[in-house]
């Protein structure tokens, strides 16, 4: 049944199975499981286990990198499908997504970006390791659009940049142009308040919900 396929996906991530992960993904699609469920019930829970194992020091960086590669191999298949599933009703707005300067963790960023696209947002994905000046420039360039800025930071160091980007937007008189949602493992509600951002989310599905609510 589906649970068996979800377990297979989860195990492919945990076991760093770069070849097996896209195969399991295709198998799940062929069985009629949606791209959304493949991510939320299979791949993402697998990455969560990998993160926990790393924290418990039962695995090390090379293994994480292999799991990340397995994840990305699956996302290559799923991203075009999610883009297609996107209903193009009047358009909910534009999401400018990025990861803070100094931070190359891109798995959560990609998941959130993908999920926002699947929920009808037009996506401007700036990528990872993005200086705040580039973020501000992207907002300036798209001034007038219904817009949300969606930033990720996975390290306590890079997270500090989130507060600076809000301040920079204020200085450039652009804060009113855009809603702001920040996330990533170290981000808390207290931090969101301290930054002057508008919201945060626990995971990619939640991020889509919060973003839609903010628009
Ligand atoms: Co990395 N790393 N890492 N890492 N890494 C972390 C993040 C630590 C917490 C691990 C630890 O020490 N406990 C740690 C940061 C410590 C800290 O500052 N508190 C850390 C470190 C230190 C480092 C290096 C410095 C290690 C080194 O080289 N010595 C180095 C830094 C590189 C750099 O960025 N300059 C490094 C490298 C790596 C890789 C390359 C091996 C790999 C990244 C691969 C890649 O992304 N392509 C990696 C990974 C995978 C991790 C862990 C294990 C998992 C991160 C992950 O992908 N999680 C992580 C441990 C952890 O987070 N527990 C560890 C899965 C995704 C799905 O979750 O939280 O990213 P997520 O995103 C969620 C959620 O937060 C939310 O939705 C997402 C989807 O569900 N969300 C948002 C995310 N963004 C949002 C935005 C919104 O607006 C709303 C919601």
What tens digit of pLDDT does each residue of 183-199 get? Answer: 999 999 999 999 999 99
Please name the CATH architecture into which domain 94-214 falls: 3-Layer(aba) Sandwich (3.40)
**71 in contact with ligand 1, CB cutoff 6 A:** no
Distance 155 CA to ligand 1 centre (A): 7
Ligand 1 neighbourhood includes 150 CB (under 6 angstroms): yes
- Which residues of the chain fall below pLDDT 50? none
For ligand 1, atom 43, which residue shows the shortest CA distance? 105
Give residue 141 CA to ligand 1 midpoint distance, Å: 29
Start-to-end C-alpha separation, the chain: 38
- Cα–Cα distance, 139 to 177 (Å, whole number): 8
ipTM of the complex in this document: 0.98
* pLDDT attached to residue 135: 98
Contact (CB, 8 A) for 124 and 106? no
Q: What is the pLDDT of residue 150?
A: 98
Nearest residue by C-alpha to atom 10 in ligand 1: 55
Query: What residue ranges in 8-79 does DSSP mark as E strands?
Result: none
The pLDDT score that the predictor gives to residue 111 is 86
Q: Whose CA is nearest to atom 60 of ligand 1?
A: 51
Name the nearest CA neighbour of 153 among 166, 140, 141, 142. 166
The residue whose CA is least distant from atom 59 of ligand 1 is 51
The CA 172 to ligand 1 mean position distance, Å, reads 30
Domain ranges of the chain: 2-85, 94-214
| Fold exhibited by the domain 2-85 | 1.10.1240
- Residues 6 or more apart whose Cβ sits within 8 Å of residue 178: 96, 139, 147, 148, 149, 169
pLDDT for 36: 87
pLDDT value at position 57? 87
Report how far ligand 1's centroid is from the alpha carbon of 107 (Å).
8
- The pLDDT tens digits of the residues spanning 122-164 come to 999 999 999 999 999 999 999 999 999 999 999 999 999 999 9
Domains 2-85 and 94-214 agree in fold: no
183 pocket-lining for ligand 1 (C-beta < 6 Å) = yes
Among 56, 60, 185, 214, residue to substitute to test ligand 1 (most atoms within 8 Å of Cβ): 185
CA trace torsion 79, 33, 16, 71 (10° rounding): 20
């Amino acid at each position: 049944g589906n649970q068996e396929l979800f377990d297979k996906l989860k195990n492919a991530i945990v076991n760093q199975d770069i070849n097996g992960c896209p195969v399991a993904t295709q198998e799940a699609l062929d069985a009629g499981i949606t791209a959304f469920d493949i991510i939320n019930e299979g791949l993402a829970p697998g990455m969560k286990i990998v993160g926990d194992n790393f924290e418990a020091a039962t695995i090390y960086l090379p293994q994480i990198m292999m799991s990340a590669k397995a994840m990305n191999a699956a996302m290559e298949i799923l991203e075009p499908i999610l883009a297609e599933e996107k209903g193009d009703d009047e358009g909910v707005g534009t999401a400018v997504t990025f990861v803070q300067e100094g931070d190359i963790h891109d798995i959560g960023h990609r998941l959130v970006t993908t999920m926002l696209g699947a929920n009808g947002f037009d996506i401007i994905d700036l990528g990872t390791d993005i200086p705040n000046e580039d973020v501000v420039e992207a907002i300036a360039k798209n001034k007038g659009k219904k817009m949300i800025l969606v930033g990720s930071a996975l390290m306590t160091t890079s997270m500090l940049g989130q507060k600076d980007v809000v301040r920079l937007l204020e200085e450039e008189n652009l804060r009113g142009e855009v809603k702001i949602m920040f996330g990533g493992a170290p981000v808390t509600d207290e931090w969101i308040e301290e930054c002057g951002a508008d919201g945060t989310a626990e995971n990619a599905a939640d991020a889509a919900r919060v973003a839609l609510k903010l628009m």
